[in-house]
Structure 1
Amino acid sequence: MTSANPPYTTKQWILASKPLGAPILEGPDATFKLQTTTLPSLNEGQVLCKVRYFSNDTGLRNFIQSSVAPERFYVPTVPLGSPMRSGIIAEVVESASPNFKTGDLVMDFHLGIWSELVILDAANCQPLAPLPGDLPLTHYLGAFGASGIAAYGGLYFAAEAKPEHTIVISAAAGATGSMAIQIAVKLLGAKRVIGIAGSDEKCAWVRDQLGAHECINYKSPTFVQDLKAVTPDEVDVYFDNVGGSVLDAMLTRMKRFGTVAVCGAVSSYNSGEPMALSNWFEVISMRINIRGFIMLDYMEKIPTILGELIGAAADGRIKLQDGETVVEAPIEDQPRVWMQLFSGQNQGKLLTKLIV
């Protein structure tokens, strides 16, 4: 990054090829290309920012290639030749807005880009207030960002979960799943909360640190039997982050008129094949309600949601220790860091701390 005098130049990743399967990180067919770009001068109401952190989310995979037609997607997708998008925390370097000054820290949920420097519309920037107990501001991209809001909204509004319910949450050691576990246990007070994760170590963390009553490993050869054993009274609410074979197994454990709240389908994001469900008739036989949702559905409720989540963290009901995986990396490594999500290398929220 060079910035002796405006105009500024910056390295940034652009979408060079839309992947049909897993993104390709090297070679002539690489999904992303690193380029150096000269930024334009600021317009009134804009800020120039130096990126401190990138938010790494599995859902970004659908921004670059999805089975959903672009006009039906819930946010604009990334066109070929355009910078890759993600949530960011950034520091204001120059401001053409009365609302921000040099040195301010700001966040943008999903309109930031994989770039060392970014120009943002001040109207889309959220100023970052200090968090209680000296909690790191990075939680604004996870527990107090899209992950926490999706977890809360999915349980309370999409699933209409109740204290008397048995709730199962997949990807329970991930950013959204780990918050959903704690919200279900500590805030909702659900009768029984069961996590599904990808290793015995992660399951132990979900049980011992997050408070789940049970957690089972979907990679175990006895997963289907284990699932049946931990749900003897069947399941009222399934919070689905993964789709695929886990969803297929869960359909056989749902109560009549139970609810599946669908937050994601990460098992299929890098697959060129359609999702196959052999137990789909369970939806009819048990009259299961399947409800898709996104965090943006609850924008008007965000102040209330964040007030409750931050308050619960401040008084110790929700624990955020070990709930982030922060990787320090230069801009050149950002695609590789993001791809760690799809091999389960993170515990909780995966963030890139950008080093220059």
Structure 2
Amino acid sequence: MSNIPKTCKAWILKEKPGEQVTDKTFALEEREVREPADGEILVKIAYFSNDPAQRTWISNKVVKERAYGPYPVEGDAMPSGFLGRVVKTKSDKWKEGDLVNGFASWSEYVTLNGAAVFPARQVEGYPESIALSTLGMTSMTAFCGLTRVGACKEGDVVVISGAAGATGSAAVQLAKHHFKAKRVIGIAGGPDKCRWVETIGADVCVDYKSSSFADDLKKALDGQFVNVYFDNVSGTILDAVLAHMARHSRIVACGAIAGYEGSGVMPMKNLFEIISMRVTMQGFIVSDFMDSWPEASAVIKKLVEEKKFVTEGTETKVEASFEDIPKVWKRLFSGHNQGKLITQLKA
């Protein structure tokens, strides 16, 4: 294509943040658009995936040997998942115009190995951004966490924190409609989010911002104990749920957003419950279980087609200029968005 520019904008990691992301964390630069070599493709980015995990990748507290995911150094473009179109190809796998998703950086254009991207998962009649939300990595995470870590099964009592978020809302729907859990309890922030979580499958959703949260959680359990706790938050919410875990129950340690910004100090009073109730608590990363992704995609796509998996409201899509990418991303930590936060670049 003749309209491909020689250079493009990119947001780089200028200074690794400590307790807070600041105006010094990122810098906007102009970088060369590299021509694809044999086997490579050039992609123009249309959407960016915004994920809490990105915050852990850039923390100045993380050492490379113990990194949770990518380990960008200062001067690197900010890592990110994306959805975009192939504009030039030297790969037999792809042709110009193909919609692909994968992992790259906050750049207008990226040159990638053709084997490193995937066909964007789509469902007829739904927006193409579904590839980053309902059929995206966060839903893969929910499925893999419930199956491979939580061993979720019919009849379980399942509690999910961050239930109005991208992974949490997918976990709520899967627990209820695919795994046939006996009772699904969501935890979210604010009455509006809690009402929405109940519309997508939770039997009840408890507001962690309420002064009566501990009592409300106990009431929601209705005399039962938790078989599977899908934890996206950690901190005081994890501590509260620990007091209600069943014997030989499972905790899926997926995220700890309560500690991503700030001091990270999260007092825990109920850790002994892990011992007394013989609780299994396991952390995971979705890439640990790539062999389950085809099954996850098929299950979720079928649920969507059967109208058993709600897509409306499960993504917050923000149209923004390239210059506003960090501003949109930081919404992850304000609690304002619902479902998957996606940046749609203005044309």
User: In which range does the TM-score fall when normalised by the shorter chain?
Assistant: over 0.9
- Work out whether 1:225 is the aligned partner of 2:223: no
Give the Cα separation in 1 of the matches to 2:180 and 2:274.
27
Structure 1 residue ranges without an equivalent (≥5): none
Q: Secondary structure at the match of 2:210?
A: coil
Could you tell me whether the CA contact under 8 Å between 2:121 and 2:135 is conserved in 1?
no
Instruction: Give the C-alpha shift of residue 264 in structure 1.
Output: 0.4
Structure 2 residue ranges without an equivalent (≥5): none
- Between 277-286 and 212-221, report the one with greater CA deviation: 277-286
The equivalent residue for 2:118 is: 126
Provide Cα deviations, 1:79-128, integer angstroms capped at 9, x if missing partner. 111000111001111111122222111110xx211111111111111123
Give the Cα separation in 2 of the matches to 1:147 and 1:38.
31
- Work out whether 1:94 is the aligned partner of 2:102: no
The equivalent residue for 1:146 is: 137
Could you tell me whether the CA contact under 8 Å between 1:7 and 1:40 is conserved in 2?
no
Could you tell me whether the CA contact under 8 Å between 1:6 and 1:41 is conserved in 2?
no
Instruction: Give the C-alpha shift of residue 129 in structure 1.
Output: 5.3
Give the Cα separation in 1 of the matches to 2:277 and 2:57.
34
Match of 1:271 among 252, 259, 262: 262
The equivalent residue for 2:290 is: 299
| Percent identity (aligned) | 41
- Work out whether 1:335 is the aligned partner of 2:329: no
Give the Cα separation in 1 of the matches to 2:98 and 2:271.
51
Give the Cα separation in 1 of the matches to 2:117 and 2:40.
10
Q: Closer, same or farther in 2 for the Cα pair 1:254/1:141, shift >3 Å?
A: same
Q: Secondary structure at the match of 1:258?
A: strand
- Work out whether 1:44 is the aligned partner of 2:35: no
Residue correspondences, number: 346
Instruction: Give the C-alpha shift of residue 228 in structure 1.
Output: 1.1
Match of 2:77 among 83, 86, 94: 83
The equivalent residue for 1:195 is: 186
The equivalent residue for 2:13 is: 15
- Between 274-283 and 315-324, report the one with greater CA deviation: 274-283
Instruction: Give the C-alpha shift of residue 219 in structure 1.
Output: 0.5
Give the Cα separation in 2 of the matches to 1:200 and 1:266.
20
The equivalent residue for 1:180 is: 171
Amino acid at match of 1:206: V
Give the Cα separation in 2 of the matches to 1:278 and 1:69.
28
Instruction: Give the C-alpha shift of residue 14 in structure 1.
Output: 0.3
Could you tell me whether the CA contact under 8 Å between 2:188 and 2:208 is conserved in 1?
yes
Q: Closer, same or farther in 2 for the Cα pair 1:139/1:228, shift >3 Å?
A: same
Give the Cα separation in 1 of the matches to 2:68 and 2:334.
26
Provide Cα deviations, 1:273-298, integer angstroms capped at 9, x if missing partner. 33321211221222211011111121
Q: Secondary structure at the match of 2:177?
A: helix
Q: Closer, same or farther in 2 for the Cα pair 1:81/1:314, shift >3 Å?
A: same
Q: Closer, same or farther in 2 for the Cα pair 1:338/1:258, shift >3 Å?
A: same
The equivalent residue for 1:104 is: 98
The equivalent residue for 1:261 is: 252
Amino acid at match of 1:280: L
Amino acid at match of 2:178: L
Could you tell me whether the CA contact under 8 Å between 2:18 and 2:61 is conserved in 1?
no
Q: Secondary structure at the match of 1:264?
A: coil
Match of 1:206 among 190, 194, 197: 197
> What is the aligned-residue RMSD (CA, Å)?
1.6
Provide Cα deviations, 1:130-165, integer angstroms capped at 9, x if missing partner. 423x11221211221211111011111101011111
Amino acid at match of 1:52: A
- Between 317-326 and 279-288, report the one with greater CA deviation: 279-288
Give the Cα separation in 2 of the matches to 1:204 and 1:151.
21
Could you tell me whether the CA contact under 8 Å between 2:43 and 2:85 is conserved in 1?
yes
Amino acid at match of 1:17: E
Instruction: Give the C-alpha shift of residue 68 in structure 1.
Output: 4.6
